[in-house]
Structure 1
Amino acid sequence: MKTTQSSAGPLDGIRILDLSSVVMGPYATQILGDLGADVIKLESPAGDNMRAVGPMRNPGMGAMYLHLNRNKRSIVLDLKTPQGRQACLDLARTVDVLLYNVRPQAMARLGLGYAEVSGVNPKLVYVGAYGFGNAGPYGGRPAYDDLIQGMTAIPSLYQQNSGDVPRYAPLTLADRAVGMQAAIAILAGVIQARASGQGQEIEVPMFEAMAQLVLGDHLGGASFSPPEGPTGYARLLAPYRRPYATSNGYVSVLIYNDKHWSRFFQMIGRPGLLEDERFSSHTARARHIDEAYCLVSDVMATNTSEHWLQAFSDADIPAAPLYGVDDLIADPHLRQVGMLKDLQHPSEGAIRSPAPVGSYSKTPLSIRRHAPRLGEHTQEVLREAGLADEAIAGLLGTGAAAAANKGKKP
């Protein structure tokens, strides 16, 4: 599963040293690895925590780890040892990007801050993806997905919308959204570095990134000074904005523009509602969004999901069945486009993994490498960095580096 010319992807030739773990950083480099970058995953002797999160067939190879860390190579270094730190700097000389997601104070304690790393490679793009920007009073605080969701109002928006207790989104939403921001930042940094010959230090803070995402929708009246009304996007917060209950299930539908509403009112035999001042225009419906959605909710309960899906299809109004995860896996469109790839992993056997996203006519994407065992590529990567076999043996002998045993399961 090594890179070939036909499957290298558009980022072939970009080399990333990834010191990150868990979800946010690994998701960023999974995206870049899928696009063809050579991602070297540097792990501690204990390994990435996500290795331990099941389900799994073998220790250290949990399901989420497998998905997040394909198209990467694993090297183990103990960065708390002088030898391990030096080996990391040797690697930094050979890469375009170093990504980390611990607090910057921890990198400084390891002697791997920007000054030290850029000293060995001035062209390096040094990217920190962590909780809070260092310029603010929260700089240096620990952060996790749940904390960032809570601080950026996502649970309270859920409560405002549903009337239920505050809840986190049932996804690693902040980690993955900010991971995408980190991937964009890495690409921007590489483009600038290659144009100028000079790298830079980049900070991608979770709190600020998610605040931007939430406030983009919900700044509302506070967009103006003085405010022109309350915060919040009324349509998103309407209590009836949810999958509509039918007589035998649920349907997702979005009756959005004037054309949709006109067709919906005709479909239900009430065309005169388009003259109702509450529903006569997009602006009017936005002011009366609760009433509009309540009307739809009441009507939807009168017939089956199958009836409504056909009726909305005939009227060209966007609608879809409500899926569970198992339905998503079985979806015929996703099956046709190959969204789940059947792979053969050398230690885990037959597995399925979500495919890389997008279609590239000249540089097709692929899963070129399986998610590595801990330290699977330690010797290979250190040789590429210019270390002699004797030096590598010394690192392994002192425990400053570790390598997976060939042929043995994790």
Structure 2
Amino acid sequence: MTPTGPLSGIRVLDLTSVLFGPYAAQMLGDWGADVIKVEPPAGDTWRYTGVFRNRGMSGQFMAAVNRNKRSLALDLKHPDGKAALARLIPTVDALVTNVRPAAMARLGFGYEACAKLNPRLIYAAATGFGQDGPWAARPAFDEIIQAASGLASSIGSDEEPEFVPSLIGDKICAMAMVGAVSAALFRREHSGQGQMVEVPMLETIAGFNSIEMLGGHAFDPPIGPTGYKRMKNRRPVQTKDGWLTMLPYSGDNWCAFFEAVGRPELIEELGVRDPVLRSQNIDKVYDRMSEIGPTRTTAEWEELLLRLDVPHTAFARLTEIGEQPHLAAVALFADIDHPTEGRIRQARPATKFSESPAGIHRMAPRLGEHSREVLREAGLSDAEIQAAVDSKAVGVAS
């Protein structure tokens, strides 16, 4: 399938592994870019994480991180591997890497060296910590960033921090990277000049978390504690037969809700007309919601809340997420035939472009599946490619 997304015609070198960088590169591919995934001969370690039918093609690698890419296996410690990458760099618009900058420089592919090969190149570095700070050389993973950014303390507490049970730092930063690369490409259209882009995980997540969690410390000097009280008190509501989340959001909304459930006295008791009082009493508000929840079934609650225009939803189980009513109606999840891995399930790109639709046009590749094809496009002869394969500088799919 030919890419139709807004980045169709853009060519990206993806020198990333695991999640942050690969997820960003996949989104660029979803939006139409031709993404060439450069992997070491052993492959991205994410290929072997989780369950799989065939070794090196795990569900996590395929499902939402490495589709819409071509795989080129290169040993960048081998002279022939370096030479092949140097031939590719002038042919691409962007290079995305989460190899630490010092290591990229030692390989001979730091920003300055790559900019000499291609002055129009957008060189995007996914780093753990900003390269102008004292932690620049440290390795980083999601748990490290959740801890260092204050996110784990805001989820739990300063005394007992907790991790979000999702690689949320990697995924948020990947989205930031997609925006940064797109913006740099847009500027290049006006200036004709490439540039280096850095997306540091710690700074990105600390800023992301500060939006609500600085609380009173958003003022200097502080005028209250950190945190956002409603975030710490919100909880699912148990019904007669399941679980629901409901969120009356305005004074009128809250009043209509308590009138409808026969508890009008709570309007004044909890001060729900006034957003300041409501916020101050939010723990008591949620306590009352927990008491009221079991008086109706989930279906009865949904009928009432829909009539009152109160935001709400029943909880979806992960095992049934494809059957969630809205997601099923918009066909977010699809079962697709992979050429070697059989039937797999993927979520299509959620972002919609009216004139240049994003889509899935290529399944996740086997390691080295496109090595010969990509190197031919870079101008290497078949004899040069075979010599590099024979020297083990280039890997090809068996």
Task: Give the TM-score normalised by structure 1.
Answer: 0.93
Aligned to 1:142: 139
User: Counterpart in 2 of 1:104?
Assistant: 101
Q: Give the deviation of 1:154 after TM superposition.
A: 2.5
> Match of 1:132?
129
Alignment of 1:59 onto 2:55: yes
Q: Equivalents in 1 of 2:297, 2:326: separation in Å?
A: 23
Is 1:223 matched up with 2:218?
yes
Instruction: Give the match's secondary structure for 1:371.
Output: coil
Gaps of 5+ in 2: none
* Deviation (angstroms), 1:196: 0.9
- Within 5 Å, give how 1:100-179 maps onto structure 2: 100-160=97-157, 166-179=161-174
Instruction: Give me the whole-angstrom Cα distance separating, in 1, the residues matched to 2:155 and 2:208.
Output: 15
Match of 1:210 among 183, 190, 205: 205
Distance apart, 1:233 and its partner CA: 1.2
Deviation at 1:277, TM superposition (A): 6.4
Which of 289, 305, 317 lines up with 2:310 in the alignment?
317
- Alignment partner, residue 331 of structure 2: 338
Q: Are the equivalent residues in 1 in contact too, given 2:255–2:272 (CA < 8 A)?
A: no
Q: Could you say what secondary structure the match of 1:122 adopts?
A: coil
Quote the residue 1:270 is aligned against: 263
Q: Name structure 1 gaps, 5 residues minimum.
A: 406-410
Matching residue's letter, 1:177: I
SS in 2 for 1:301: helix
* Structure 2 counterpart of 1:82, one-letter code: P
Task: Classify the secondary structure of the residue corresponding to 1:93.
Answer: helix
CA distance in 2, matches of 1:177, 1:397: 41
Q: Deviations over 1:134-161 (max 9, x none)?
A: 1111111010011111222222222249
Q: 1: CA distance between counterparts of 2:218 and 2:187?
A: 32
1:235 aligns to 2:230 (yes or no): yes
C-alpha distance in 2 between matches for 1:301 and 1:49: 47
Shift of 1:341: 1.8
Contact preservation (8 Å) 1:343, 1:352: yes
Q: Which amino acid aligns with 1:56?
A: F
CA distance in 1, matches of 2:189, 2:396: 33
Shift of 1:80: 0.7
2:93 and 2:237 map into 1 onto residues whose CA distance is 49
Selected match of 1:395 from 377, 385, 388:
388
Query: Is contact 1:160–1:237 with CA below 8 Å preserved after alignment?
Result: no
Task: Work out which of the residue numbers 42, 58, 62 in structure 1 matches 2:38.
Answer: 42
SS at match of 1:361: coil
Contact 1:41 1:75 survives alignment (8 Å): yes
RMSD over equivalenced CA pairs, Å = 1.6
Q: Is the 8 A contact 1:71 1:368 kept in 2?
A: yes
Report how many residues are paired: 397
Instruction: Tell me how far 1:189 sits from its aligned partner.
Output: 1.2
- Whether 1:301 aligns to 2:298 is no
Aligned residues of 1:217 and 1:233 also touching (Cα < 8 A): yes
1:291 corresponding residue in structure 2: 284
**Percent of residue pairs bearing the same amino acid type:** 44
